[in-house]
Every structure is written in structure tokens, then in C-alpha cells.
Amino acid sequence: MKRLFKQNPGTIDLKPFDYILKNIATLGPAGYSPFAPGTVGTAVTAILCLFFATRTSVLLIIPLLFIMGTIASDRAEGIFEEKDSSYIVIDEATGFLVTIAFHSITPLLVLIGFVLFRFFDILKPFPIRQAETRLPGGLGVMFDDIMAGIYANIVLTLVLYFKDVIRI
């Protein structure tokens, strides 16, 4: 029988605080998905936003997730013994929130934001890839997704503006 999630690496002999940081970095089981864990982490965040997020809560959560994610990602890289491990998906959650920041949370907006964020996160246009490779540890892990979220937010804002202008 095929497992729904990849085996959970890095669990042997973890101190309690490291275990917590690892689970923050992976968003619990989301990071262990065998099918595009970054997309799964983003999808989990998008679904949670539909039910619980407001424009204000998104703006309040972004800095908190950035700080927690930077610390957790930095430690998780050591636990997984891999730079920007695919198991680490807190960066996708934070980047997606940046994508929808300042916008009303609606199902259509979340869907468009999801597609735009994944596009920029996967494509990594200049200078996103450079940020990922030049910044150390957890900061590099988080910052490229923040930048992808900024790019996606700009495009999302333009889409919404032109939708109103041309009445789509």
C-alpha cells in the first residue's frame, strides 16, 4: 500500500524545541506530501484563509510567520541536512499571505492568488532566485517566497484594477 505522505525524516533524537521548529517549518504533515509539497503547503494555507482570514489578520500574521518561519527553517535545514529542503513549506504559507495582503478574502481572489503565487514561486524571476541563493539559512528560505508573494500581489492588484475598469 502506498503511503499518503513521505516518511518523516529527522525525527530520531530531536530535542522538544527542535521537534516544534521542525513541525512549524513543515506545517505539520503538509511538507511530507509526496506530490509537490510546496503546492500542498500553499493549498492548506489558502483553504485556512477562506475560513478564518480577514484582511487585518493576514497583515498581522505575515510578520509573525516570517520571524517564526526564518527561525524554524534555519533549524529544519540542519535537521533535514539539506538547504531549502522540500519538506519546509512555512515559506510558501508566508509568501501566499503576502500575495493576498491588502485584498478582501474571497474564494475567487484566493484561487487567483494561489495560481499567481505558485507561478512566481516556481518560475523565480529576477531577483527571486538570487535572494534564495545569496541569503543565508532560514532567511534565504523565507525571503524568496516573500518576493514571489510581492510579485504575485502586484499582478493580482493589476488584475483586480483592470477587471473593474473593463468590467469583466
CA pair distance 29, 106, nearest whole angstrom: 26
Q: How many domains does the structure of the chain reveal?
A: 1
Cα of 108 vs its chain's centroid, Å: 19
Task: Flag whether 9 is in a domain.
Answer: no
Task: Flag whether 34 is in a domain.
Answer: yes
Task: Flag whether 80 is in a domain.
Answer: yes
Task: Flag whether 47 is in a domain.
Answer: yes
Tens place of pLDDT for every residue, the chain, 168 residues? 444 445 555 556 778 899 999 999 999 999 999 999 999 999 999 999 999 999 999 999 999 999 999 999 999 999 998 888 999 999 999 999 999 999 999 999 999 999 999 999 999 998 988 887 888 899 999 999 999 999 999 999 999 998 876 665
Q: Which domain holds residue 157?
A: 16-166
Residue given cell 527542535 in the structure block: 18
Task: Flag whether 11 is in a domain.
Answer: no
pLDDT at 130: 86
Task: Flag whether 140 is in a domain.
Answer: yes
* pTM of structure: 0.90
For the chain, helix (H) and strand (E) counts, in that order, are 7, 0
Task: Flag whether 8 is in a domain.
Answer: no
Task: Flag whether 83 is in a domain.
Answer: yes
What DSSP assignment string belongs to 124-148? -TTTHHHHHHHS-HHHHHHHHHHHH
